[in-house]
Homo-oligomer: A and B are copies of this chain.
Amino acid sequence: MKASIIIVGDEILKNRIVERNSTIISNLLLKKGYFITGKYFVGDNFKNINRVLHLSIKDSKIIVITGGLGPTVDDITLSAVAKSLKRKLVFSEKIYEKISKKMKADNKILIRQSLTISGSKIFENGAGIAFCHSIVYKGVKIFLLPGVTREVEWITDNVLEKVIPNRAVRKEYNIKIFDTTETQIYQLLKEEFDSKTISDIHFYPIFGFIDLYFSKKEILKFLKNKFKGKFLETDAKDLNLYLKGELEKKNLKLSVAESCTGGLLSKYLTDIEGSSKFFLGGVVVYSNGSKNSILKVDRKLLEKYGAVSSEVAEMMAKNCSKIFRSDISVSITGIAGPSGGSIEKPVGTVFISTFYKNRLQTEKYVFNGSRDIVRQKSVNLSIFSILRRIKNE
């Protein structure tokens, strides 16, 4: 079944913001088994909204539109869609009641924000003020979402996830394989299985690991054997939530020491509610000076091996555990790039060390990709390092 995505907003066409809404929505639609025929980005003007809406209606059963539902004059999506579908805008008592509690504004604005399209269903937005609207037009289900990415994330997880039906056959097994590529896995599978069996496997490459879904047990067995020590068998969507569960089970407290990831790991761990139950804190030691003054990493060690080395990573992990008095610590030091690499230690070289039960374990990686990607991969592999140790020791 086909789906289209329409992103409305001058700010996107002017490259004033990084557009992520289309990715968030398409990830959900792809996971649910839809085929996306187009993603259309248009400005806040009726003509183009009308054009891409009718183009989408021609070939899609689901259309998701984001942006232009705010209170200012350039927010015209709701009225443009109504006009385009020859429907009326109507005042919703229910929206008015809800938003007048959330928002202090003059009544004219509140009324404007309380409009919806005749015949539509409305859904409350748990991350913001503007509501989500859904209309059925000639058998096509059209969703209107606000443009703020956090709100789109919330609505995708809490509304679209529930109201858009699944098309895909349910995949029974899920495995996450770390530090490998789609191609590597694919080639190994090709040597063992026929193409029909392989086509049943869904690959979702995420930074530093590949998330695989499939329905045959023999594939699970094969992959677990081929990627020993490199996988997690779980359908957990988020590594931070999964880690939280595992640490809490064993009542372990964590601290982290970051260099090249610059706080990204701490940030990711504290993205979730209740992270204070397992996370004591972290240090971002972004200079040799702070590695020495905060984490007591030997100046001689820094000079001899360089900040990006297993020796420094290990001292970071060990001393981090000491200063936070944590049960387990992880450290990350590397070269995120784009500059700073050398022949010996190219951009993407990252050392990750864990200190647990008075013992260090250290891995060296050379990641491909941009600065952002190297940092994201480092964070996911550091979480994998912690999980592997607490599950096995």
Contact = CB atoms under 8 A, between A and B. Distances in A.
A30 interface: yes
Contact of A263 (B10, B73, B284): B284
B38 A40 contact: yes
A154 B370 contact: yes
Which DSSP category, helix, strand, loop or mixed, fits chain A's interface? Answer: mixed
A165 B284 CA distance: 42
A43 B36 CA distance: 8
Interface stretch (A136-144, A267-275, A351-359, A384-392): A267-275
A280 interface: yes
Nearest to A51: B55
Q: Which among A206, A264, A275 has the highest number of chain B CB atoms within 10 Å?
A: A264
Contacts of A256: 284
A338 B272 CA distance: 10
Given A11-B202, A71-B186, A370 B127 contact: yes
Interface string A239-255: 00000000000000001
B373 A150 contact: yes
Say which size band chain A's interface belongs to.
Answer: 35 or more
A307 B55 CA distance: 55
A264 B266 CA distance: 8
A280 B290 contact: yes
A40 B13 CA distance: 11
Interface in A182-214: 182-183, 186-187, 195, 198-199, 202-206, 211
Interface of A: 10-17, 22-23, 26-27, 30, 36-43, 45, 47-48, 51-52, 55, 58-59, 70-74, 102-106, 109, 126-128, 148, 150, 154, 182-183, 186-187, 195, 198-199, 202-206, 211, 237, 255-256, 258, 261-271, 273-276, 279-287, 289-290, 293-294, 323-325, 337-339, 368-373, 376
Closest 9 CB pairs of A and B: A262-B270, A263-B266, A263-B263, A39-B41, A263-B267, A281-B290, A282-B284, A281-B286, A13-B36
